[in-house]
Amino acid sequence: MTRPIILVTGATGKTGAPVVEQLLEKEYPVRAFVHRIDDRSRRLSELGADVVVGDFHDLQSVRQAMKGVGRVYLCYPPFDGLLRATTHIAIAARAEGVEAVVNMSQISAREEAESPLAHEHWQAEQVLDWADVGVSHVRPTFFAEDLYLFTGDSIAREGKIYVPFGHGKHAPVSAEDIARVVVGILVDPQAYAGKHYVVTGPCDLSVDEMAEILGSELGKPVEYVNIPVEAWKSMLVEKAAMPEYLATHLAAVAVDHQNGIFSAETDAVAVIGGRPPESLQDFIRRHIEIFGGQRDLAKDVASIKP
């Protein structure tokens, strides 16, 4: 039986790249939708993916990438334009007769969300439901990678974590584990169509508890400093050159975190992804060199712009 071509959008991103790799390992034909040719996209090509350059915001570009595709992973970066991109994917997928779409949403997506991005994720879910393209929605909590993305520099320099997450909890989940859930659905989409899946790591933790684990693994004290939300937002805009849209989103979900919106423990990684999720301790050990060195957040943000 011929396996369907799977279109992976955001293919060089945190979840996109491992989704491509895991599908290729399972011998599925993969078309990788990228914004530009660079070292990351060239690597996917070397692995065996059909790399195509396109633009989410150009419907004809999306239609062209969708030709002959049977299943789709939709992952748009955390910037303005999600609803337009999702609409283009929905139009092209429906026209092509795509049997399944896995949509990367987020745990905070809801109609009343204060974050413009979280609210757009909720709207995007409605669009894909209406399109009748066999959609499954994946709603992860905060990525484990966010720990070094947002706090790696201050941990390396000062042994401190500066975020406004209050005493709320979340169960950090690695991008690779999220990818396993996405791949599990893409391989057997009928079993999961029409449903939402909250994806988490194994253990709900406060940031104080995460700091204690980091300190133990790094061999030095690490302290959580619960800063005001507006101060964090200003820091993201002024020091990290973050777009106002993204900084506003992060400020709003920080309040959500304080209010318990991100607190959850699920078995999605084990049941759909086929193996237990990675613990925070193991994740830190796997990335110990990154946690031990300084980060350039502005450079990281620039690398994922659509």
Q: pLDDT (tens digit, 9 = 90+) per residue, 168-195?
A: 999 999 999 999 999 999 999 999 999 9
Domain with CATH 3.90.25.10 in the chain: 145-171+202-263+276-303
Which residues 6+ apart lie within 8 Å of 299 measured at CB? none
SS (H, E, C) 130-190: HHCCCEEEEEECCECHHHHHHHHHHHHHHCEEEECCCCCEECCECHHHHHHHHHHHHHCHH
Domain with CATH 3.40.50.720 in the chain: 5-141+173-199
**pLDDT tens profile 110-127:** 999 999 999 999 999 999
Contact 284, 213 (CB under 8 A): yes
Is 70 exceeded by the pLDDT of residue 306?
A: no
CATH architecture of 5-141+173-199: 3-Layer(aba) Sandwich (3.40)
Contact 32, 20 (CB under 8 A): yes
Write down the pLDDT at residue 289.
Answer: 86
CATH architecture of 145-171+202-263+276-303: Alpha-Beta Complex (3.90)
Is 90 exceeded by the pLDDT of residue 294?
A: no
Is 60 exceeded by the pLDDT of residue 230?
A: yes
Is 70 exceeded by the pLDDT of residue 297?
A: no
What is the arithmetic mean of pLDDT over 212-233?
Answer: 96
**pLDDT tens profile 38-48:** 999 999 999 99
